[in-house]
Chain A
Amino acid sequence: MKKLINQPDSFVRESLAGMAAAHSSLLKVNFDPTFVYRADAPVTGKVAIISGGGSGHEPMHAGFVGMGMLDAACPGEVFTSPTPDQMLAAAKQVDGGAGVLYIVKNYSGDVMNFEMATELARVEDIRVLNVLIDDDVAVQDSLYTQGRRGVGTTVLAEKICGAAAADGYNLPQVADFCRRVNLNGRSMGMALTSCTVPTKGSPTFSLGDREMEIGIGIHGEPGRERMSLKSVDEITEILALSIINDRPYSRTVREWDETQEEWVDVELVNSEFKSGDRVLAFVNGMGGTPLSELYIVYRKLAEICQKQGLQIVRNLIGNYITSLEMQGCSITLLKVDDEMLRLWDTPVKTASLCW
Chain B
Amino acid sequence: MNKEQVIQWLQNFAAEIEQNKEYLTELDAAIGDADHGINMDRGFKKVASQLSSVADKDISTILKTVSMTLISTVGGASGPLYGTFFLRASTAVTGKEELATEDLLKLLQAGLEGVVQRGKAHLGDKTMIDVLLPVVDSFQQSVDNNKNILETMQQVVLVAEQAMKETILMLAKKGRASYLGDRSIGHQDPGATSTYLMLKSLLATLEN
Q: Which residues from chain B contact A115 at a C-beta distance below 8 Å?
A: 80, 118
Q: Which residues from chain A contact B32 at a C-beta distance below 8 Å?
A: 221
Interface residues of A in 44-62 (CB under 8 A from B): 54
CA distance A79 to B79 in the complex (A): 14
Evaluate contact between B173 and A145: CB separation under 8 angstroms: yes
B 5-32 binary contact with A (CB < 8 Å = 1; else 0): 0000000000000000000010001001
Which segment, of A104-112, A240-248, A281-289, A298-306, faces chain B? A104-112
Evaluate contact between B176 and A107: CB separation under 8 angstroms: yes
Of the candidates B75, B79, B81, B176, the one having the most CB atoms from chain A within 10 angstroms of its own CB is B75
User: Does B189 count as interface, using CB distance less than 8 angstroms?
Assistant: no
Task: Give the contacting residue for B38; candidates A81, A138, A144, A200; CB below 8 A.
Answer: A200
Evaluate contact between A197 and B175: CB separation under 8 angstroms: no
User: Does A211 count as interface, using CB distance less than 8 angstroms?
Assistant: no
User: Does B57 count as interface, using CB distance less than 8 angstroms?
Assistant: no
Task: Give the contacting residue for B178; candidates A85, A146, A204; CB below 8 A.
Answer: A146
Evaluate contact between B173 and A109: CB separation under 8 angstroms: no
Looking at the assembled complex, report how far the CB atom of A109 sits from the nearest CB atom of chain B, in whole angstroms: 4
Interface residues of A in 95-145 (CB under 8 A from B): 107-109, 112-113, 115-116, 138-139, 144-145
Evaluate contact between A217 and B79: CB separation under 8 angstroms: no
User: Does A172 count as interface, using CB distance less than 8 angstroms?
Assistant: no
B 66-87 binary contact with A (CB < 8 Å = 1; else 0): 0000011111111111010000
Evaluate contact between B179 and A79: CB separation under 8 angstroms: no
Task: Give the contacting residue for B35; candidates A80, A84, A107; CB below 8 A.
Answer: A80
Least CB separation from A88: chain B residue: B72
Task: Give the contacting residue for B176; candidates A146, A197, A199; CB below 8 A.
Answer: A146
Task: Give the contacting residue for B71; candidates A76, A79, A85, A219; CB below 8 A.
Answer: A85
Task: Give the contacting residue for A217; candidates B71, B73, B176; CB below 8 A.
Answer: B176
Evaluate contact between A222 and B183: CB separation under 8 angstroms: yes
Least CB separation from B171: chain A residue: A144
Evaluate contact between A149 and B179: CB separation under 8 angstroms: yes
Evaluate contact between A83 and B179: CB separation under 8 angstroms: no
User: Does A150 count as interface, using CB distance less than 8 angstroms?
Assistant: no
Evaluate contact between A33 and B72: CB separation under 8 angstroms: yes
Evaluate contact between B34 and A108: CB separation under 8 angstroms: no
Task: Give the contacting residue for B75; candidates A113, A204, A222; CB below 8 A.
Answer: A113
Evaluate contact between B176 and A76: CB separation under 8 angstroms: no
User: Does A63 count as interface, using CB distance less than 8 angstroms?
Assistant: no
Evaluate contact between A204 and B34: CB separation under 8 angstroms: yes
CA distance A77 to B77 in the complex (A): 12
CA distance A18 to B78 in the complex (A): 29
Evaluate contact between A79 and B174: CB separation under 8 angstroms: no
Q: Which residues from chain A contact B118 at a C-beta distance below 8 Å?
A: 112, 115
Least CB separation from B80: chain A residue: A112
Interface residues of B in 156-200 (CB under 8 A from A): 171, 173-176, 178-181, 183
Evaluate contact between A109 and B183: CB separation under 8 angstroms: no
Task: Give the contacting residue for A77; candidates B35, B71, B179; CB below 8 A.
Answer: B35
CA distance A199 to B34 in the complex (A): 9
CA distance A200 to B33 in the complex (A): 10
CA distance A107 to B32 in the complex (A): 12
User: Does B39 count as interface, using CB distance less than 8 angstroms?
Assistant: yes
Q: Which residues from chain A contact B77 at a C-beta distance below 8 Å?
A: 81, 108-109, 112
CA distance A84 to B118 in the complex (A): 14
User: Does A78 count as interface, using CB distance less than 8 angstroms?
Assistant: yes
Evaluate contact between A112 and B39: CB separation under 8 angstroms: no
Evaluate contact between A83 and B79: CB separation under 8 angstroms: yes
Evaluate contact between B35 and A199: CB separation under 8 angstroms: yes
Interface residues of A in 215-245 (CB under 8 A from B): 217, 219, 221-223
Please name 27 pairs of A and B residues whose Cβ atoms are closer than 8 Å in the assembled complex, sorted by A.
Answer: A33-B72, A54-B76, A76-B76, A77-B75, A77-B76, A80-B33, A80-B39, A80-B75, A82-B75, A84-B80, A85-B72, A108-B174, A109-B79, A113-B80, A115-B80, A116-B71, A144-B173, A144-B181, A146-B176, A146-B179, A149-B179, A200-B29, A204-B34, A205-B29, A221-B176, A222-B179, A222-B180
- 8 cross-chain pairs, A with B, having the tightest CB-CB distances, nearest first: A145-B178, A112-B80, A109-B76, A109-B77, A80-B76, A80-B75, A85-B72, A108-B77
